[in-house]
Amino acid sequence: MNIWRAFLSELNQRQQLKWSESFLDGSFAPAKKGAAESEKPSGAKGTKWMVVVDGRGLPLGNSLHSASPGEVTLAETTLATIRVGRRHHAGRPSQKPLRVIADKAYDSDPLRKRLRQRGIELIVPHRCNRKKPATQDGRALRRYSRRWIIERTNTWLGNFRRLVVRYDRSLTIYGAFFHIACFMIVLRRVVQ
């Protein structure tokens, strides 16, 4: 994980990370052998990936959870995993994109409020059954059309066959392969 973060800080030093917008999404990997008892709630067999990428599709942070919790409840813990160090500079690592763009699963007024307090703008289209008045206009939602970037990153992660179906009983081992996949995606950008 430290190597992945070191390459991210190298890209940040070269100003090749796009902090102005980031994308958040989750995906599901079914578990064939099942997870250990402490890692799976009743009825859910599998693992949910949550990934935050920059505006160019490079993974900045990620987290792995059991399959049952909703994505909106996991959004803040996933955003908290962003830590991109600043090479040759003292100080705290970069942790905060300006905007987070996500799908309708993240349409939550309490989440919007908590992210706004941290200085992050959440851009999410409203659900069709929303009772409260709209909180954003069409100008901000124009950025939503670039959500293909996170879907492309999920496809890149899906190309690592070890992640598509979880055969490992230990979440630690599966998580290690997940971090290696994120590292490989970032490494391709550094080498270019």
Q: What is the pLDDT of residue 169?
A: 81
Q: What is the pLDDT of residue 37?
A: 43
- 52 closest CA partner among 87, 95, 14, 93: 95
Total of domains in the chain: 1
Range of the domain at 104: 2-191
pLDDT in tens, 96-119: 888 999 998 898 889 989 999 999
Q: What is the pLDDT of residue 67?
A: 85
pLDDT in tens, 74-96: 999 998 888 887 666 666 666 78
Which of 8-17, 25-34, 157-166 tops mean pLDDT?
157-166
Q: Is 38 exposed, middle or buried (0-12, 13-18, 19+ CB in 10 A)?
A: exposed
Query: 51 falls in which pLDDT band (50, 70, 90)?
Result: very high
Q: What is the CATH number of the domain that holds 177?
A: 3.30.420.10
Tokens of 24: 């958040």
Rounded mean pLDDT, 4-33: 86
Q: What is the pLDDT of residue 90?
A: 62
